[in-house]
Structure 1
Amino acid sequence: MELNGQTVPRVFNGLWQLSSPAWGSAPKSKMKKHFKQLLENKFWAFDMADHYGDAELIFSELRQTSSHTFCATKWCVFDNEFEVSPENVKKEIDTRIRRTGGVDLLQFYWQNKDAEKPMLEICKLIVEDKRCKLGLCNFDTLLMKKVVESGIKVYTNQVQFSLIDIRPRLKMGKFCDENDIKLLAYGTLCGGFLSDKWLGKEEPDIYGDDSITPSQRKYFDMIENWGGWDLFQELLAALKKISAKRDDLSISIVAARWVLKHSFVGSIIIGTRLGVKDHSLENIIIDDYTWDISTEEMGCIDSILEKSRASHLIELLGDCGDEYR
């Protein structure tokens, strides 16, 4: 995927886990070592946000050791108090550039869907600033369409997409293909539920078990809406059968590759616990095109999705990103 003059990796390092110690923490020395290893393995694109704790500041410090990194951060407007003007928008962009050391992709989130005029004005001003490309975050298809039809160039939209949340396939994907917009997909592994670890396991006690992360509490609700734990186990078993045919594959790798097979997906964002746990070797396999999910295997996966309520999530939750408004 081409962004800001660079062909970026198809796997981004997501730094949302720096927003809370619930995912684990590490000393700066281990973070630096892990960061270096990610770069050596060619995973040099990082996704963060203004509300992910110190993620921007930590990234800014770590990136000083390399001249080759890609910074995707966010500017999120959660209320109606922001006064739109060229000066104020420039100030917000300045803040993110200062905190990160340079922004390649600025992903804009706008809470109030009814206030279209200031939203469009901000997008226009970001594009006119020229210091970073404009991406969107959790914009539904209609909202994204209004931005595009205003003549504003949009490069990406970051939304949830996985085997459990297939909403981008139902509506947004077609619009993206028609308008040269790529999705940056998060939630691809459902907080780690789409993994070998959970195959054959009983339904977790998401509030009674201290090992359950904030992400897993969120994605457990998605699994319940999708079809429940028993059907989820059937999906894990099918993914395991696919992974078992090939060396070094796991359920997570197959689940991630399934998302990347969609033409409208530019990259997936996988949470990175800097200094805590390194998944870079698995990520190399995700992006290795010497293997693929066969047509027959895709059909097996689709047969399970057809048993689920996946196609009805758009009716329950709304289009992509609507659950956050």
Structure 2
Amino acid sequence: MSRVPTVRLAGGLEVCRVLNGMWQVSGAHGAVDATKAVEAMQVYVDAGLTTFDMADIYGPAEEIFGRFNSQCKSSGKDAAVQSLTKYVPRPEPMNRKVVEKALCRSMSRMQVDRLDCVQFHWWDYKDKRYLDALGHLSDLQQEGLIQELSLTNFDTQRLEEITSRGIRISSNQVQYSLIDQRPAAKMEKFCLANNIQLLTYGTLAGGLLSERYLGKAEPHSRAELYTASLSKYKNMINSWGGWSLFQDLLVALETSARRHDCSVASVATRYVLDRPAVGVVIVGCRLGVAGAGQHISDSLRSCSPDLKLTAEDRATIAAVTQRSRDLMALIGDCGDEYRN
């Protein structure tokens, strides 16, 4: 098994610096064979990528992890995997009973005795019941039901509000890539000062940040943008600066990739891994479909200590990204795209 670099969160949980993202089994990326998905999970674990990221709203993701976990136990294997899930409630009174019931449902699906990490998401900041929910989650953490209490897509203002109430937050999962560098504007500084790790998604723009799209015509149709990820991040590219500028970025990345004998994806991932406050990059896994696991070698290369981007690499990349639009001004802080 390869030794994949890890990072320790505030509550002591040690996770891989590249996480296996399970949004792709939610149904928004096409049909998934659960049995094949479970088999594919073992391939990732065998490669040393032992940390999985899921959510209670990602279709069968928690159940698929539970099946994998159960098989490992029944076979006598100690899988030594880490499982991060998200709690994404609908707006309703956030009393302890509601919160605890949701966590117990996730535990049952995942077939675990306690939750390694719960990442809380809330849709509407005007509805202040998110503070009630976090209070109960903090209590349940103190009682041992949760190891790490984290957030998903919260902005810097709310992050400050929550921590000022004495609630210890281990991480915040946000979009961060060469396309979307909003966390650098405000959030990184706050996270560094408060021992909060950034868990980043969208780092490969759903696969668009790869050689596959270098020199290619701009995709528009549903047949070309055939997954929820491709459609989502193509829209982000449109906001950022458009397809022509994106092609310039791919050229810059390919130049660095050739210099380091790696892929465009590895360079794009390494760039984000090197950012202040970033603990982890989440790479989506199309578990249970043909070709699942093909990017494992790219993930391993991206977090290898042998891959070190140079000042020349960064200058070449910056020469392109500095020509883009200011997404902080256009969209707002991290997560605001889900609330505007």
Regarding TM over 0.5, the answer is yes
One-letter code aligned to 2:179? I
Q: Within 2, Cα distance between the matches of 1:33 and 1:19?
A: 17
Q: Which residue of 2 aligns with 1:319?
A: 333
Counterpart in 2 of 1:264?
277
Residue 24 of structure 1: how far off its partner (Å): 5.2
Matches within 5 A, 1:167-186: 167-186=182-201
Aligned residues: 317
Name the aligned partner's letter for residue 27 of structure 2. Answer: S
Q: Is the 8 A contact 1:23 1:273 kept in 2?
A: no
Shift of 1:25: 2.9
- Between the aligned partners of 1:6 and 1:318, the Cα distance in structure 2 is 31
Unmatched tracts of structure 1, length 5 or more: none
Cα deviation for residue 215 of structure 1 reads 1.1
CA separation in 2, counterparts of 1:290 and 1:38? 21
1:101 aligns with 2:89: no
Q: Supply the AA of the counterpart residue of 1:95.
A: R
1:132-177, Cα deviation, whole Å (9 max, x unpaired)? 1211011011011100111100001011000000000111111111
1:90 offset after TM fit, Å?
Answer: 1.4
Residues 24-64 of structure 1: CA distance to partner in whole angstroms, max 9, x if unpaired?
53361x33332111111111111111111101001111122
Gaps of 5+ in 2: 1-6, 73-77
Name the CA shift for 1:206/1:185 in 2 (closer, same or farther; >3 Å): farther
In the TM superposition, what are the counterparts of 1:177-256 in structure 2 within 5 Å? 177-207=192-222, 209=223, 212-247=226-261, 249-256=262-269
Residue 91 of structure 1: how far off its partner (Å): 1.3
Measured on the aligned residues, the alpha-carbon RMSD in Å equals: 1.5
Aligned to 2:43: 37
Distance in 2 between the 1:52 and 1:25 partners? 12
SS at match of 1:110: coil
**Within 5 A, what are the aligned runs for 1:59-98?**
59-64=65-70, 65=72, 66-79=78-91, 82-98=92-108
Q: Deviations over 1:174-203 (max 9, x none)?
A: 111111101110000001100000000011
Q: Distance in 2 between matches of 1:106 and 1:27?
A: 23
Measure the CA separation in 2 of the matches of 1:172 and 1:235: 24
CA distance in 2, matches of 1:227, 1:210: 20
Shift of 1:23: 4.1
Instruction: Give identity over the alignment, percent.
Output: 38
| Residues 10 and 85 (structure 1), Cα distance of their counterparts in 2 relative to 1, 3 Å cut | same
CA deviations 1:77-103 (Å, max 9, x no partner) are: 243xx2222222211211111111232
2:23 paired with 1:8: no
Partners of 1:67 and 1:307 lie apart in 2 by 46
| TM-score, structure 1 as length reference | 0.94
Residue-by-residue CA offset, 1:210-253 (whole Å, 9 max, x unaligned): 55212111111111111111110000000000001122x11111
Question: 1 or 2, which has the higher helix percentage?
Answer: 1
Matched, 1:286 2:292: no
| 1:159 lines up with 2:174 in the alignment | yes
What does residue 3 of structure 2 align with? none
TM-score, normalising length from structure 2?
A: 0.90
SS in 1 for 2:260: coil
Distance in 2 separating the partners of 1:123 and 1:101 = 24
Partner of residue 75, structure 2: none
Distance in 2 between residues matched to 1:173 and 1:211, nearest whole Å: 32
CA–CA distance in structure 2, aligned partners of residues 201 and 186 of structure 1: 24
- Match of residue 124 from structure 1: 135
Distance in 1 separating the partners of 2:64 and 2:50:
15
SS in 2 for 1:50: coil
